Structure 1
Amino acid sequence: MREYTEKKETCGTICLKYLLFIFNFFFWLAGGAVMAVGIWTLAEKSDYISLLSSNTYMATAYILVVAGVVVMVTGILGCCATFKERRNLLRVYFILLLCIFLLEIIAGILAYIYYQQLSMELKQNLKDTMTQKYRKDGEEHVTSAVDKLQQEFKCCGSNNYTDWSDSLWIKSAEAGGRKVPDSCCKTITDACGKRDHPSNIYKENGCITKLENFIQEHLKIIGAVGIGIACVQIFGMIFTCCLYKSLKSEPY
């Protein structure tokens, strides 16, 4: 009877080991995906971050990058802990899983909160950012972001092209008589911003709604990735606890 019980426990331990190994393999791949989403947000979409007054959007991306790196390291540690059957390594592995779980939950919550606040922030700050900082010395990143925004989304100004009448740059001699920046033009040529006819510029389309929709879509991705991977980790923590208990109960 005792031999049967020990054999049953051993079989259970082996099953848990392989389940945890499979989990760690996919967990390692998921870590790469989480890190990729964070890096993609920072690298490819960083131009628009300078148009936001808060750092929440950037913070969620950084959290995902850090979480992704830790996930990949943790996945390797989990494989080692599983096959070496070391309870001390399993404890470290469980703590790391818990830390990653909390990081990703925080990233998901931040993305959700900022999703709710984004519309108000853009309404309050986007016009001022565009009109006060465009072409200003030391604000080249804002200038680049505004030009890219207007060309990529085929828009002009925050609400519409008339916003540019309040621009410090447009009012200055440096503008050379332009009524809007050249990036408002449907076909960019030198000083094309002097002519604000609908055939020449994106006259009726403001950028605020398009930028809001763009960032909200990315916040959905960040939130979904963070919360989704965090939920998957619950299974990893359960498998780890079961394996730890199984190893503890076996004779030495």
Structure 2
Amino acid sequence: MALPAGPGLAAAHRHGPVPFSRCVRYLAFLWNLLFLLLGLLTLAVGVWGLLTKSSLPGGDRGAPLGSDPMLLFVLVGLVASAVSLAGCLGALRASPCLLRFFLGALLVFGGLELLGGLLLLLLRRRLRDALQDLLLLCLLRYQEDPDLQFLVDEVQRSLQCCSLESYRDWESNLYFNCSSPGVQACGVPASCCRQPLQGGSVPNAQCGLGALALGPAAAAALLHTGGCGAAMAAGLRGQAGAIAAGAVTLLLLEAVGALMALRVLGDITAGRVWQ
């Protein structure tokens, strides 16, 4: 005589296979663990940058923290780590509260990314003007902030340009102005030079000294005299497809994480996953 099925067996037959739910649960955990590690790496880079700059002998300790570019790495790393940690623990511990927090954060991020894309399309000219103002600020504070100095040098070196509109814009910098009493007077950064190595293996940091006192032809033979504003605009137009593809890829990655979290949350609600 067959015994009646107990409530546990009936629930198992009613709610479906548990192994698949467990597989999705652990896959969601590993997915969020990867982004947790990336977030912690970004946070470590930001903290390292802040500590390194503050320990430099000539570091600008009096600069406001809110204007430090490395602070962006710290904030992005903190937010990404917190959200990914919630996703990891929510999937591992089968916590509906953490999973709902994770899903809500992804929804907010996706909305902000879509809003940013729309603003980028609608306010292209204003954003271009804001980018030029930011670059001008970087030129004025070139010697005061090592992060801004590194950023300006990388932009000028990679785009083969000098200053904002023309190499003459460096006259607005207090240290490069020809009326300055320092050794950098009438000069430009070495990243403006056409051949910074000058036949050697080590870049010559003084190759731009006195360049503002030269005539246009002599300066053009020594420097990249074109401004970085037009070069950056052309570069952004050329990389528009890659930027759009990167944004879509990021949204797809967030959507995959959200779908796995929704599946785990649904399994918890249906009783296929126990806390």
TM-score range, shorter chain: 0.5 to 0.7
Q: In structure 1, what is the equivalent of residue 155 of structure 2?
A: 149
Does 2:225 correspond to 1:203?
yes
SS of alignment partner, residue 168 of structure 1: coil
Q: In structure 2, what is the equivalent of residue 245 of structure 1?
A: 269
Structure 1 residue corresponding to 2:257, chosen from 233, 236, 240:
233
SS of alignment partner, residue 151 of structure 1: helix
Go from structure 1 to structure 2 and tell me whether the alpha carbon gap of 1:94 and 1:100 turns closer, same or farther (over 3 Å shift): same
State the Cα distance separating 1:43 from its structure 2 match: 7.5
2-side partners of 1:238 and 1:174: how far apart? 63
Q: In structure 2, what is the equivalent of residue 50 of structure 1?
A: none
Which structure dedicates a bigger proportion of its chain to helix?
A: 1
SS of alignment partner, residue 220 of structure 2: coil
State the Cα distance separating 1:155 from its structure 2 match: 1.4
Q: Give 1:134's aligned amino acid.
A: Y
Q: Give 2:136's aligned amino acid.
A: K
Q: Describe the superposition over 1:89-112 as per-residue Cα deviations: whole angstroms up to 9, x where unpaired.
A: x22232332243145336635753
**TM-score normalised per structure 2:** 0.61
Q: In structure 2, what is the equivalent of residue 193 of structure 1?
A: 209
Tell me, yes or no, if the aligned pair for 1:185 and 1:200 is still in contact at 8 Å: yes
State the Cα distance separating 1:121 from its structure 2 match: 0.7
Tell me, yes or no, if the aligned pair for 1:63 and 1:103 is still in contact at 8 Å: no
**TM-score normalised per structure 1:** 0.66
Structure 1 residue corresponding to 2:80, chosen from 62, 68, 71:
68
Within 5 Å, give how 1:51-90 maps onto structure 2: 61-62=73-74, 64-82=76-94, 90=95
5+ residue gaps in structure 1? Answer: 48-53, 83-89
2-side partners of 1:109 and 1:161: how far apart? 37
1-side partners of 2:244 and 2:273: how far apart? 44
Between 139-148 and 216-225, the greater mean CA deviation after superposition:
216-225
Within 5 Å, give how 1:83-162 maps onto structure 2: 90-102=95-107, 104-105=109-110, 108-109=113-114, 112=117, 115=120, 116=124, 118-130=127-139, 132-135=140-143, 138-162=144-168
Go from structure 1 to structure 2 and tell me whether the alpha carbon gap of 1:81 and 1:19 turns closer, same or farther (over 3 Å shift): same
Q: Give 2:24's aligned amino acid.
A: L
Tell me, yes or no, if the aligned pair for 1:24 and 1:76 is still in contact at 8 Å: yes
Go from structure 1 to structure 2 and tell me whether the alpha carbon gap of 1:60 and 1:144 turns closer, same or farther (over 3 Å shift): closer
State the Cα distance separating 1:229 from its structure 2 match: 3.4
State the Cα distance separating 1:174 from its structure 2 match: 1.5
2-side partners of 1:35 and 1:226: how far apart? 18
Q: Describe the superposition over 1:6-37 as per-residue Cα deviations: whole angstroms up to 9, x where unpaired.
A: 34235344432322222322232244345556
Go from structure 1 to structure 2 and tell me whether the alpha carbon gap of 1:10 and 1:111 turns closer, same or farther (over 3 Å shift): same
Q: In structure 1, what is the equivalent of residue 24 of structure 2?
A: 19
Q: In structure 1, what is the equivalent of residue 181 of structure 2?
A: 173
Q: Describe the superposition over 1:161-191 as per-residue Cα deviations: whole angstroms up to 9, x where unpaired.
A: 1222333322312255535333321233435
Q: Give 1:208's aligned amino acid.
A: G
Does 2:164 correspond to 1:163?
no
Tell me, yes or no, if the aligned pair for 2:142 and 2:148 is still in contact at 8 Å: yes
5+ residue gaps in structure 2? Answer: 54-65, 197-203, 212-217
Q: Describe the superposition over 1:118-160 as per-residue Cα deviations: whole angstroms up to 9, x where unpaired.
A: 4221233423541x3334xx44543444334323432111112
1-side partners of 2:224 and 2:270: how far apart? 67
Number of aligned positions between the proteins: 230
1-side partners of 2:119 and 2:70: how far apart? 11
